Amino acid sequence: MTVLAPAAERSDERLAPRSLTRRLIGRPELGAVVGAAAVFVFFSVVADSFLQASSLGTVLYASSTIGIMAVPVALLMIGGEFDLSAGVMVTSSALISSMFSYQMTANTWVGVGVSLLVTLAFGAFNGLMLVRTKLPSFIITLGTFLMLTGLNLGLTKLISGTVSTKSIGDMQGFPTARDVFASHWTIGSVDLQVTILWWIGLVAVATWVLLRTRVGNWIFAAGGNPDAARAVGVPVAGTKVGLYMAVAFCAWISGQHLLFSFDVVQSGEGVGNEFLYIIAAVIGGCLMTGGYGSAIGSAVGAFIFGMTSKGIVYAQWNPDWFKFFLGAMLLLATLLNAWVRRRAEART
Amino acid sequence: MTDTTISGGEAATVPGPRTPLVALTDVAKSYGSVRALHGVSLDVHAGEITCVLGDNGAGKSTLIKIIAGLHPHDAGTYAVEGEEVRHASPREALDRGIATVYQDLAVVPLMPVWRNFFLGSEPTKGRGPLRRLDVAAMRATTHQALLRMGIDLRDVDQPIGTLSGGERQCVAIARAVHFGAKVLVLDEPTAALGVKQSGVVLKYVAAARDAGLGVVLITHNPHHAYLVGDRFVLLKRGAMSGSHLKEDITLDELTREMAGGSELDELTHELSRTPAATDPAAAADPETTA
């Protein structure tokens, strides 16, 4: 009787109540959170100024610039695809906005709007090419990456005569646009950039979409098993095009931040950043093959990136070492994730 | 017991006035110059199981893709409840009540059972930007729908990839029944399963039939087919080689016809022992014999 009584209270006697640790291990973000804690402790010990409040703002800012892009890149990865053009698309978006306003002597907001439309068109192009040609996304976005890199340099030189755009700091609408995309405010001794708000907002929206909407279900299915998804009526092609446009939308936000914080844009920037976004998403628990991952994980991944890039400076090391640390972190995080996932799936 | 009632009614109604749920007449399909399927006809009635039997490459997969709406047919007619149709996508077939359960691509392995159960037809609550999945209802419904089919799942939150092959098939069948499918198309549901698991799956197939669905069971196992089937359509090299009602054929005849009749005789002859000849050959070149 004593054995039977507790069994009857549970909904199903074969299902042991899952402990909190057990449930945590099932989360995709766990590996990243453990990694983030380790990195935090490490730099707290080796760099004296790392724990100062003012450092927090700097670390969060560095994290947010990567994090804003890591969110849609993570969603795209869960949907089973890559976007190698994400890094230069940020620069393209900033260039379009700046040059359109300057050349047309229009209000900066007009340039911002035109930039949004054109950048979304880039995303739609990536997505439509993918679903129409059925070529690997690696090839297609590598193509757009190279084309955009060339266009950025070529068109900027053609129009401005130099490799950077003209300053638009004195143009109409610039102050309000800067408030939206590149303002900052101070709380105590902490200087906080507006990008941090954008970042938190995007993570929240993406998490909501992923876990609580039909589209989220479709994203997981499109990455996990596209044939099965299509067979049960999921619009797989539409979902993927939408994901590429989400990447483009965030590239637009990042691009506008770039423009309005410096008021000139260097046309050669952005190359290589696409890997930072992918690294943040993978460290955050996204599976390279799709169908698994989270937006919060990508945020933790971006935070690890921010802590490492600034921690090295606070520790007064040569920043050349940064890439080495990033690479080691990526390997460690991926191994940890793989181990955690095996543990999670091995439950009986 | 269901068999007797159905075959009793069948004798009176074939080729009776009752409109079949799905009727294919002389359907053909080519991929480029390859004639994958030609001259195939079959009927599916409510509360009955139509078995499609054939060897590898007989055209079973092509037939299933036509019924499921993945590929349109090139010739012949495809009628759903008497109305001729041409499906442009699986979604259209689904909307007409034709649900297909595929052998290998039935589910998304890393997603929880309840998300898989509702994939493509997720219920939502709330409006505008707050429109969201009704998660609690989805979990509860999944558990109940599976329970009604006799599947008592431990945990609807586990990734469906952790279920056994038979359990996954059963979840897919329960999903089709829950979403009000009128016709259930099953692609080799017992192919990769052991004897016991196959029995369990066939039990759910029979349960779906008893719930009033028309079932198309694709298989290459005549024993499984004969256990539950009411009609048998045999495919061979893309063409229909036979079409029988259960009362017109015995298991032995079905097995024999499935294995290719005269071809089987030939094979029996070839495989029969001629002691003097086989022994040295086997010893000399075991790999060719294997």
Question: pLDDT tens for residues B118-127?
Answer: 988 888 888 8
Beta-carbon separation of B94 and A233 below 8 A = yes
Looking at the structure of chain A, the number of domains it has is 1
pLDDT over threshold 50, residue B2:
no
CA distance B89 to chain A (A): 8
pLDDT over threshold 80, residue A235:
yes
User: What pLDDT score does A18 carry?
Assistant: 57
Q: What is the CATH number of domain B2-109+180-289?
A: 3.40.50.300
Contacts of B115 in chain A (CB under 8 A): 217, 220
Within a domain: residue A240? yes
Interface of B with A (CB under 8 A): 68, 70, 90-91, 94, 100, 102, 105-111, 115, 118-122, 124, 131-133, 135, 152, 154-155, 158-159, 161-162
pLDDT band at A150 (very low <50, low <70, confident <90, very high): very high
pLDDT band at A81 (very low <50, low <70, confident <90, very high): very high
Beta-carbon separation of A232 and B105 below 8 A = no
Q: How far apart are the first and last CA of chain A?
A: 25
Beta-carbon separation of A220 and B115 below 8 A = yes
User: What pLDDT score does B6 carry?
Assistant: 39
User: Bigger pLDDT: A180 or B259?
Assistant: A180
Q: Answer whether A22 touches B (CB < 8 Å).
A: no
pLDDT over threshold 60, residue A2:
no
Q: Which of A273-282, B4-13, B237-246 has the highest mean pLDDT?
A: A273-282
Across the A:B interface, residue pairs with CB atoms under 8 Å apart total 80
- Work out the percent of chain B whose per-residue pLDDT is above 70: 85
Q: Which of A308-312, A329-333, B126-130 has the highest mean pLDDT?
A: A308-312
pLDDT band at A79 (very low <50, low <70, confident <90, very high): very high
pLDDT band at B131 (very low <50, low <70, confident <90, very high): confident
pLDDT band at B4 (very low <50, low <70, confident <90, very high): very low
Q: Out of B68, B70, B159, whose CB is closest to A345?
A: B159
- Mean pLDDT over B225-241 rounds to 87
Within a domain: residue A35? no
- Mean pLDDT over B253-267 rounds to 73
User: Bigger pLDDT: A83 or A339?
Assistant: A83
DSSP string, A205-273: HHHHHHHHSHHHHHHHHHHH-HHHHHHTT--HHHHHHHHHHHHHHHHHHHHHHHHHHHSS-BTTTTTTH
User: What pLDDT score does A340 carry?
Assistant: 64
pLDDT over threshold 80, residue A149:
yes
Q: Out of A216, A233, A291, whose CB is closest to B91?
A: A233
- Mean pLDDT over A77-103 rounds to 94
* Beta bridge mates, B183: B98, B214
How far, in Å, CA of A273 to CA of A295, rounded? Answer: 18
Mean pLDDT of chain B: 80
pLDDT band at B249 (very low <50, low <70, confident <90, very high): confident
Task: Give how far the C-alpha of residue A202 lies from the chain's centroid of Cα atoms, to the nearest Å.
Answer: 9
- Mean pLDDT over B75-81 rounds to 89
User: What pLDDT score does A136 carry?
Assistant: 93
The residue segments making up the domain with residue A238 are 64-336
Look up the pTM and report it.
0.79
DSSP string, chain B: -HHHHHHHHHHHHTT-SPPPSEEEEEEEEEETTEEEEEEEEEEE-TT-EEEEEE-TTSSHHHHHHHHHTSS--SEEEEEETTEE---SSHHHHHHTTEEEE-SSSSS-TTSBHHHHHHTTS--EES-GGG-EE-HHHHHHHHHHHHHHTT---S-TTSBGGGS-HHHHHHHHHHHHHHTT-SEEEEESTTTT--HHHHHHHHHHHHHHHHTT-EEEEEES-HHHHHHH-SEEEEEETTEEEEEEEGGG--HHHHHHHHHTTHHHHHHHHHHS--HHHHHHHHHH-HHHH-
Least confident of A21-30, A223-232, B201-210: A21-30
pLDDT over threshold 50, residue A109:
yes
Q: Which residue has the tokens 């998660």?
A: B135
> B15: cis peptide before it, omega within 30°?
yes
pLDDT over threshold 50, residue B16:
no
Test mutation, B108, B133, B155, chain A, max A CBs within 10 A: B108
Beta-carbon separation of B90 and A233 below 8 A = yes
Q: Out of B91, B120, B132, whose CB is closest to A213?
A: B132
